[in-house]
Every structure is written in structure tokens, then in C-alpha cells.
Structure 1
Amino acid sequence: MLVAAAVCPCPPLLVPEVAAGAAPELDAARAACTDAIGVLAASRPDRLVVVGPAEQSGRGPHPQGARGSFRGFGVDLDVRLGRSGDDGANGTDAAAERELPPSLAVAAWLLDRTAWSAAPLEGLGVGEPLAAERCIQVGGEIAVRGERVALLVMGDASACRTLKAPGYLDERAAGFDAEIARALGTADVEALKALDAELAYELKAAGRAPWQVLAGAAAGAGLSGELLYEDAPYGVGYLVATWS
């Protein structure tokens, strides 16, 4: 059963080494992510599942100890998704088979930064095209993996908030992000299930599929939400929320 969830953005710029100057405008987002992971630890889970958007090569499960890297962003920095083999379920060989997608590498950095040790963990990369029904089904399957399951959900909102945004300015982006912020801040499962996948794609909102996995996992759990951070410093919507 899902007992807690944290929602965090996944730009590699959250990692100061990648930001090449620490990007102080993201300090508040980093602090909020730390607080959100603290909520996960306080929930005393028996398993943490980290979900994030992924391209084709990074989709599917990633075991505890899987390696990630920020070398593709010009930084000689490697991370692991938790300490390899801590729960005895995943060996180091399996963990080394595939590199984490960037979203899960950012999650691994956040977890390492907060010295996560509350529970064994695993990762799941989900593709942008994954249909809402399948996302919800996957979430439901995650929720029954243990008596006390927690989720760390990585994903950005629209990338079209300003003229300099990666997706340029789209007048629909602000309203879309506001509704996402409301749904995440109030743990509105039905609103997340009903997200318009086509609109999310047009607005380059990478978090759509992971958020719908969360919705599937949280169905019937009776969790309450709190929005910890909301901003778009680079024209991309970044949100941090907790469900408990």
C-alpha cells in the first residue's frame, strides 16, 4: 500500500556541478526536494520506488545500485541509485547492466545528498508515450509490492512558459502548470488520471506519465497533499509536493 509520495522536478541543473555555478535560483527547489524526501523517510516505508521519465534505452526497471552519470552534460560525476545490493535482492552485476536515465540519475543524486537509508529501493523509467491507462495500472502494481510503499516521482511540468523556454512560449502552459500544481498540492488523484496526454506532449511536460503512475498507486490510499515549491526559473515548470 502506498503510504507516502514525493514529487520532484528532474532537471540536471539541480546538481550544482552540472549547473556550473550552482544555479542559486534553484536553491529553493533543492531545499524543497530535501524536505520532500524527509517526508518519505518519516513514513517508514519498507520499499521506495523511484519513477521518472525516460527515453527508449532507459525505460523499464532499474535495480538498487544501478549507475547513473552526468557525463552527457559535460560533468565527470557518477551516481548510484542507493547502495548496491543493500536489500540482497539485486546484485551488482544486474545493477551495472544499464545506465540510469537522467531523471533517475537526478533522483539518485537527491537521495545520496540526503543520505537515504530508510528502505530498499528500485527505479522505473517510463516513456512519454505510455498511455494513461497503462500508467495507472503500473501504479496500482507498484502499490501492492509491500505493506508500506513510498514513491519518489520525478518529472517537470511544461517547458513553454517564456519566450526563452526550451519549447518557446505557449499561452496554454501557465494554466496547465497551475492545474498540475493544484492537483499535486491537494493529492487530487482523479485530476491526475484525467490529464490530457496530447496537451502535455505539446507543452513538453515530461512529468505527465510519472504523475499518472502516482495516481494509480495512490488510488484508495486516502493521502493528503502539500505543495512545497512552484516556479519556472528557465521557462520550465518545476514543482515539489508531498503526499502522506
Structure 2
Amino acid sequence: MSVRGSAPGSDHAPPSKLLWAAELPRAAWAVVSLLGARKMLDAAPKGDGRPVLLLPGLVNSDRSNFVMRRYLERLGYRAEGWGLGRNIGRRAVGNDGEKLLDRIRALHAETGVPVTLIGVSLGGIMARFAAHRLPDLVREVITVSSPFAGSPRATNVWRAFELLSGDKVDSERVTQQAAEVVRPLPVPSTAIWSRSDGLVNGMICHVDDDPQCCNVEIRASHMGVQLRPEVLRLIADILGGATGRG
């Protein structure tokens, strides 16, 4: 694992077919690797009860973040799922993200403190969008393998996104929201990314010119990345301030 970054661009290609084909076995290994990681995970900084909202990736629901949620709860955070069903783009969060924004407003009103957003893949894009719209209600953003900094065509899932969301990646609405999402955030953020990702090009999962964003490179597949012990521990360290964030 290393902390580094690379400038985004619009000419990045999707990951190779070889990396794409390796996604399932690598995801399976992520699950297996949890078995011997309890001691390492429990050594992370303890939480302070702050609210943490977990946003799933494309097609996924809160079940995909169940392990992360339970882990963060065990550390002492108030970790919650987004409660909006499967993430199918605007069909889940509303045309302008109003359902997600209302969820954040409600959690903030209930707890009285800004909400930390952790988003996996498409969920990370939505987390950045929400932070721009509600900067006073969001404490920080952590994105995990989220392709927010480049063309959707630099992924192997853009056609699935179009089919499920009903949006065209080149539409004016999607293009405008993408331009908003990639702008430097008004809150601290961390972008966790992998150049060996088989579904999205890791080079569009981080930027160098965001003064409030720390880029952390890992070696991981896309599927199951949120289950990898080193990713869970990294997130815990970020929240606990062990990496200079949190």
C-alpha cells in the first residue's frame, strides 16, 4: 500500500480483459482473507460514536456493506446503511439526489453532528456529490474504487450503468453532475484506489489537484474491495486519525 496520486485524464482505457476475468476469484479471496484478520482489524483506533453513512456500489444494496458496517459498529461508530435499496443511479436517489440528501439531513438532525460518508464505486461518486450540496452537514468523504475523475467509458460497467439507471453517460445531465463531482471538495476526503482494478480504471478514481483529498493506492480487485481486511483497517485508521485524517 502506498500514498500517491496521478493526474486524471479523459483518454484512459477500461481495464484489460485479463483483469476483468480475474475479478471473481480475487473477490472470493477477499472474503477468505477476512478469516485470519480479526486481530489486525481490532487493533484499529476506537470510534467516537460519530455517524457514518455507507453508500453501496452499482446494483448493490446495503447488504454489500454489511461487513464494513458491523466492523465500524464494533469499533464504536454509528455506522448506518443508506436505506435506499439497490444503487441504480437516479432511480434510487432521485433525479437530483434528493433522496440521498434527505437521508443525510435526517441523520444529521438526529445526531446533531456532521455525517461521514463512505462510498464504494458509484456510491463514492454519490458521496462526493452530496458533500458538494451539503458541505455543512458532511464531516468528510471516503471513496473506495470510485471512478469520479474521468470518463465513464474508462470502465467495464458503463453500459450496465446506462441500462440500470436509464441515463446515458454522455447526456447533459450526467456530464454536468460529473463536472460537479470531480471539483475539489469543501470537506476533507480520501480516495482509495487500485491500478489493478478489473472494472474501473484506477487512474480515474483519484485526483492530484484537490487540496483536501488524500490519495491512497492499494492492490485490489473491484468486486469485494470493501471486504478486504487492509481496506477495512485503512478506513478505520482514516476515521481514527491515524493517517492524518478523521
Structure in which a larger fraction of residues adopt strand: 1
Fold conserved between structures, TM > 0.5: no
- What is the TM-score of this pair, normalised by structure 1? 0.36
Structure in which a larger fraction of residues adopt helix: 2
